[in-house]
């Protein structure tokens, strides 16, 4: 019987960490749309702000503690 790999990332992580990643992805999407649409600079900077908030959330929740390189 094959043993599942427990280390690494993907299946691991706390919900608050995934929320921070979602906020960062939304920020990149808003900023990217702002650049593609003419460019619309206010939308680009709003996206940058959303991404920064997501980065602060990630640092505050200790997102890198969710990642493990140890083999179990």
Alpha helices in the chain (DSSP H): 15-36, 41-61
pLDDT for residue 12 is more than 90 = no
Q: Is residue 69 part of a domain?
A: no
Q: Is residue 51 part of a domain?
A: yes
Q: Is residue 4 part of a domain?
A: no
Domain that holds residue 20: 15-64
C-alpha 27/C-alpha 19 separation (Å) is 12
Q: How many domains does one find in the chain?
A: 1
Q: Is residue 20 part of a domain?
A: yes
Q: Is residue 72 part of a domain?
A: no
Residues forming a β-bridge with 8: 68
Three-state DSSP class for residue 4: coil
pLDDT for residue 3 is more than 50 = no
Q: Is residue 9 part of a domain?
A: no
Q: Is residue 34 part of a domain?
A: yes
Q: Is residue 70 part of a domain?
A: no
pLDDT digits (tens, 9 = 90+) for 25-69: 999 999 999 999 999 999 999 999 999 999 999 999 999 888 777
State the pTM of this model: 0.77
């Amino acid at each position: 019987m094959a043993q599942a790999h427990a280390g690494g990332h993907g299946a691991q992580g706390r919900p608050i960490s995934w929320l921070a990643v979602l906020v960062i992805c939304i920020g990149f999407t808003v900023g990217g749309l702002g650049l593609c649409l003419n460019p619309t600079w206010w939308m680009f900077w709003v996206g940058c702000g959303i991404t920064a908030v997501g980065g602060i959330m990630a640092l505050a929740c200790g997102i890198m503690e969710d990642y493990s390189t140890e083999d179990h």
